Amino acid sequence: MALLKTTLGIRACLLGAVVLLPWGPSLGAQAARAPEYQVKAVFLFNFAQFVDWPAGAFPDSTAPLVIGVLGDDPFGPYLDETVRGETVRGRPFEVRRYQKIEDIRTCHILFVSPSEESRLEDILANLKHRAILTVGDGAGFAKRGGMIRFVSERNKIRMRINVAAAEAVQLTISSKLLRAAEIVTTGKP
């Protein structure tokens, strides 16, 4: 995993021009899935460095920053490996997996799995007043009210960000991250 962090430039992949990370065009469909989600795991880790949460989002100064996965977990071990032993602003990371929205007590970054596509409106409505950065890769995720959508184009991961959705729950996304993304609004084509 240390090699992955070094290779992908984990600390700088979103700061520099290398926001669009490739994942091997010659791999078969089954094998290509794992590296894609390996890259997405690195993005989730990095989002913690480029988003500010309101003071009430953490019970105290040492509480972990929780990255959650709602629904089927497409990351396998990659997400846990990416954040193992890491901290952001003095907070350790913790990864949690949820099958139901009602199970989410504490969460700061939530990846909504493609398996939850049919329930997306209900999920986002339930999170509407909570300071949770919602991330997904389903069609129209950000336009439907999610905050960050991963878009895979030509073996690169791009982002579409719904700034208004983040601001509505008092999340502040760094301009460094916004410069690397396409900005979208809820319900707009």
What pLDDT does 188 receive? 56
89 pLDDT tier (thresholds 50, 70, 90): very high
Identify the CA nearest to 52 among candidates 91, 84, 1, 94.
Answer: 91
**CATH tag, 2-183:** 3.40.50
What pLDDT does 15 receive? 37
71 pLDDT tier (thresholds 50, 70, 90): very high
Answer whether residue 84 shows pLDDT above 70.
yes
Stretch 78-99: mean pLDDT, rounded?
97
What pLDDT does 187 receive? 72
Percentage, residues of the chain above pLDDT 70: 81
Angle at 142 between CA 126 and CA 120, to 5 degrees: 40
- Return mean pLDDT, the chain: 85
Strand partners, 102: none
User: At a CB cut-off of 8 Å and minimum separation 6, what does 34 contact?
Assistant: 76, 78
CA distances from 65 to 14, 86, 155, 159 (A): 19, 10, 30, 22
28 pLDDT tier (thresholds 50, 70, 90): very low
- The CA dihedral of 109, 143, 32, 155, to the nearest 10 degrees, is -110
What pLDDT does 29 receive? 44
Express each pLDDT in 33-56 by its tens digit. Answer: 548 999 999 999 999 999 999 989
What pLDDT does 16 receive? 36
H-helix or E-strand containing 145? Answer: none
Q: 159 with 180: CB under 8 angstroms? A: yes
Q: Between 189 and 67, whose confidence is greater?
A: 67
- In the chain, domain spans: 2-183
Express each pLDDT in 123-174 by its tens digit. Answer: 999 999 999 999 999 999 999 999 999 999 888 999 999 999 999 999 999 9
Handedness of CA 25, 109, 103, 121 (dihedral sign): negative
